[in-house]
Amino acid sequence: MALDRQPHLIGELIELRPATADDFDALFAVAGDPLIWEVHPAHDRWQEPVFRRFFADGLASGGMLVAIDRASGAVIGSSRYDFGRAEPDEVEIGWTFLARSHWGGRYNGEMKRLMLDHAFTGVSRAMFMIGDTNIRSRRAIEKIGGKLTDRLHQAEMAGKPVTHVIYTIERPA
């Protein structure tokens, strides 16, 4: 079964919809906060030229979604589905960022739950690639049931080599 990587998903707190080129300004208004990227391997993503490449890659991936706060209608971040590094019957969920005003509550959990529920209509497992030193993101994925695997991914980000650890969540039986 094929997975639609451009769904429109609606939860109690957030709405996820396919990203378009017109979303750049609203997303950069969120992503331009250096503190969002402080512990991320791509710690320079708050800079406009770096974010512009990230945004273009997201659109080109065909799986980039925009997160909207349903109460205010404001764009609060983004996430993405991708198959490039995934194993068979698996999709990667990642490239997620949220406005700091939406940290520490239920927003990230709801975003991931919406994305996981949708992913499991087409694949049996979701994988999440997280910088090994990004404790904030590692705790967040563990909080929603992510299991650390022995898979690693090496990359260069912000001019430095980075090791990513891989977490997975299996479709419920």
Note the pLDDT tens digit of each residue in 44-70. 999 999 999 999 999 999 999 999 999
State the pLDDT at residue 58.
95
State the pLDDT at residue 49.
95
Domain-embedded: residue 59: yes
Domain-embedded: residue 42: yes
Amino acid at 14: I
**Structure-token pair, residue 36:** 């969002």
State the pLDDT at residue 170.
97
Q: Token match 């975003």: residue?
A: 111
* CATH number for 44: 3.40.630.30
Question: Are 150 and 165 a contacting pair, CB within 8 Å?
Answer: no
Domain-embedded: residue 32: yes
State the pLDDT at residue 12.
97
Domain-embedded: residue 154: no
Where are the alpha helices (H) located in 80-152, listed in sequence order? 107-119, 135-143
Low-confidence ranges of the chain (pLDDT < 70): 1
Q: In what order do the strands lie in the sheet with 75-82?
A: 9-10, 14-18, 64-69, 75-82, 90-98, 125-131, 160-170, 147-157
State the pLDDT at residue 1.
55
List the domain range (segments joined by +) for residue 59.
9-125
State the pLDDT at residue 42.
84
Q: What is the DSSP track for 9-29?
A: EE-SSEEEEE--GGGHHHHHH
Element (H, E) at 50: helix 48-61
**Structure-token pair, residue 73:** 């209608």
Strand partners, 10: 15
d(CA 49, CA 97): 17
Q: How many distinct structural domains can be found in the chain?
A: 1
pTM: 0.92
Domain-embedded: residue 159: no
